[in-house]
Structure 1
Amino acid sequence: MAEVKTAQTHGEPIDRNVAGDNTSFTPTNGTAGYHGSGGTMNRFITPGGHPLDNSQPAFPVYHRKFANPAPLGLLSFAATTFFLSLLNVYARGITVHNVILGMALGYGGLAQVVAGILEWACGNTFGATAFFTYGSFWISFSIFYIPQFEVFAAYTNPRMLQNAIGLYLVTWALVTLIFLVASLRSSFTLVAVFFFLEITFWLLAAGYLAPSINAVKAGGAFGIVTAAFAAYTALAGMLTKDTSYFILPVGDLSQRT
């Protein structure tokens, strides 16, 4: 049986040409087998090396490659961080932050958890851990604003509440430091995301512990920068050579020593 693969480009199926070899066979029931020359059969193979069977389009094609979930996680993180950062700089004079609840739960939390599940299925330990972690951050942050949990209502002393939120932010700054160290061999833009997020958490923590409105505003400003880098990285992940007119550089650090 001869097999020939035609030339292909990245992401295109392979046209596999299988020709007969004039061999005979003996059936298991002992009767005479068929002798003759087989015809040519063309079968398309996916880039992953699996048969591309489209004879029954209503049925799923198994062994297909997962889509890249990183842009979903990064974009949901970027959008929610950007919105909260606008509130932290008191944009348009808004001082009540409860409006963040819907976006933090529905996009920042849910979408990142979904991205984390998909990264886990793809075998990406860093991506799964990061998206699960920051998706959980937005969910935990949202709980503060849900009256049924009575988080804010439990603090009768406003200063104690500020200290508690400050320590909460310090904890997340330490978690972010771990991701910053782990991302040093990834890309410049991803390192920038964690670097500016680290600064954002420390400034916000200082703003609540001091307390200092200016520190909170500075944290909001750095949060906007963080969101910009996260959005850029997400866009770079969606712009591929086979689907876009251009690609965005991210500063690959994986090959450097």
Structure 2
Amino acid sequence: MVHTEKAATVEATAAREDPGAHIADPAPLGLAAFAMTTFVLSVFNAGLIQNTALEAVVLPLALFYGGLTQFLAGMWEFRKGNTFGALAFSSFAAFWMAFAAYVKFVEPALGAGAATATGLFLLAWTIFTAYMTVAAARVNGAVMAVFVFLTLTFLFLTIGELAGAPTMAQVGGWLGLVTAVLAWYASFAGVVNFTWKRTLLPLFPLSPATHH
């Protein structure tokens, strides 16, 4: 009885000192949500499926997996005290929800100005992603690769819209597919390494201070 009470006291003390200690790592979930939504949209951007009517399949994913689910991952990262993960997941969750709303409600009413508006939207996210890439250099190689290719994806999509260059947008689509695969790898590595209790898939640490 004494040992049980002592153990409970120790656990309670640990929980007070680190309230995020007993929360599972939300990064694999956030990365998976981001990867799947990016993959499906990029299939259309790359021109692999040319039936534009089918692009509507992206919207439910953008709202519920890339949006809501990734947002929850971001909130759990806040709870764990991970500023990078919290900012990245919650921000890109907002991107996907904003994207769904923009495509559904705003873009159809813009007419000839739609390309400029879309380009401005993408440019803002290019800037955000670029400075997050600098921060990602202190996370790990897998996450940094995701951000490098995501920055390039946004950049080419932005140029494609603002310059009226469909080929550039198509290149952005292919870069988006690479980004999605890299994010899936990082998610896969995170969950597999946890469940197997050893490093089966490397995340390529970049510094002694690396964490995610």
TM superposition score category, shorter chain reference: 0.7 to 0.9
Aligned residue identity for 2:163: A
Q: Distance in 2 between matches of 1:164 and 1:126?
A: 29
CA shift, 1:184, in A, is: 0.9
Gaps of 5+ in 2: 13-18
Contact 1:98 1:145 in 2 (8 A): no
Aligned residue identity for 2:41: L
Deviations 1:73-128 (A, max 9, x none): 00000000000000111223223422211111010001110001111111111111
Aligned residue identity for 1:117: M
| SS of aligned partner of 2:11 | coil
- Show the counterpart of 2:16: none
Distance 1:245 1:215, change over 3 A: same
Deviations 1:107-153 (A, max 9, x none): 0001110001111111111111111100000000000233xx4x124
CA shift, 1:242, in A, is: 5.7
- Show the counterpart of 1:28: none
- Show the counterpart of 1:154: 109
* Pick aligned residue for 2:64 from 96, 101, 106: 106
Query: 1:211 and 2:164 equivalent?
Result: yes
- Show the counterpart of 2:47: 90
Q: Distance in 1 between matches of 2:199 and 2:85?
A: 25
CA shift, 1:214, in A, is: 1.0
| SS of aligned partner of 2:24 | coil
| SS of aligned partner of 1:253 | coil
- Show the counterpart of 2:38: 81
Gaps of 5+ in 1: 1-16, 19-40, 52-61
* Pick aligned residue for 2:126 from 164, 173, 178: 173
Query: 1:236 and 2:193 equivalent?
Result: no
Supply the RMSD in Å over aligned alpha carbons: 2.6
Distance 1:154 1:93, change over 3 A: closer
Contact 1:167 1:205 in 2 (8 A): yes
Q: Distance in 1 between matches of 2:90 and 2:203?
A: 23
Q: Distance in 1 between matches of 2:195 and 2:48?
A: 40
Aligned-residue sequence identity (percent) comes to 38
| SS of aligned partner of 1:93 | coil
Aligned residue identity for 1:137: F
- Show the counterpart of 2:23: 66
Deviations 1:160-208 (A, max 9, x none): 1101101111110000011101111111111100000000001001111
Aligned residue identity for 1:154: A
Moved more, 98-107 or 128-137: 98-107
* Pick aligned residue for 1:50 from 7, 11, 18: 11
Could you say which structure has the greater relative contact order, defined with CA pairs below 8 angstroms and 6 or more residues apart?
A: 2
Q: Distance in 1 between matches of 2:57 and 2:64?
A: 12
Give aligned pairs, total: 203
| SS of aligned partner of 1:239 | helix
User: Which structure: larger Rg?
Assistant: 1
Distance 1:248 1:44, change over 3 A: farther
Q: Distance in 2 between matches of 1:192 and 1:63?
A: 27
TM-score (normalised: structure 2): 0.86
